[in-house]
Amino acid sequence: MSLTRRERVLIALCSLAVLGVGVGQCWLRPRLERLHRDESRLAQVRRQIARALVECQQMYRLEREVGRLQVRADKLALSERRLEADLVTALEETALETDVALTNLRPLLPKDRAGVREHVVQLELAAPFPKLVEFLYQLEEAPANLSLRSVQLNARSATSDDTTAVVQVAAYGLLPRRPPPQRRAGGHG
């Protein structure tokens, strides 16, 4: 059987088409599958980057907050002498403003509690009762690191409002931060 030229061209074109589909399946399919895998990997990496950006923003906010808190802590961490001096000055000024006689002022030993040092001063005062009340009120309204610890009032007589008082006032400051102990190289602890 002899084929015409037209039939031979059609058979050649069909063969090329079958060959093209076969080669396309063998060559193109793995590349398309790899492209899909790469796209899903790319989407996963983009999600990880978005999460990392959110975490970086949170970390940045936390670092700023730590910085603000550190500034506040440094302001509270006054030196021993300055803290005691500020306390005595505040007590003397308040006594002058309220016209209360400060007859004795005695610092007590400082106490450390949970990272805070408490400095206590014991005062002996004499004044009419209303002036003592004003003095105590102004101490209560003083800066946040001052606190009344105890108050003992004694009337001088039953017919007079002259009163004596023994008052303990505390001032608080942060203890200096100590760096954590460093481990020795090659040792335990």
Residue 121 near residue 107 (C-beta atoms within 8 A): yes
Tell me the domain boundaries of the chain: 7-76, 80-174
Q: Which fold has domain 80-174?
A: Alpha-Beta Plaits (3.30.70)
Q: What value does the mean pLDDT of the chain take?
A: 83
pLDDT per position as a tens digit, 55-73:
999 999 999 999 888 877 6
pTM (2 d.p.): 0.52
Mean pLDDT score, 35-57: 92
Helix (H, G, I), strand (E, B) or coil at 153: strand
Instruction: Kindly indicate the confidence band of residue 44, based on its pLDDT and cuts at 50, 70 and 90.
Output: very high
pLDDT per position as a tens digit, 126-142:
999 999 999 989 888 87
- End-to-end CA distance of the chain, in Å? 98
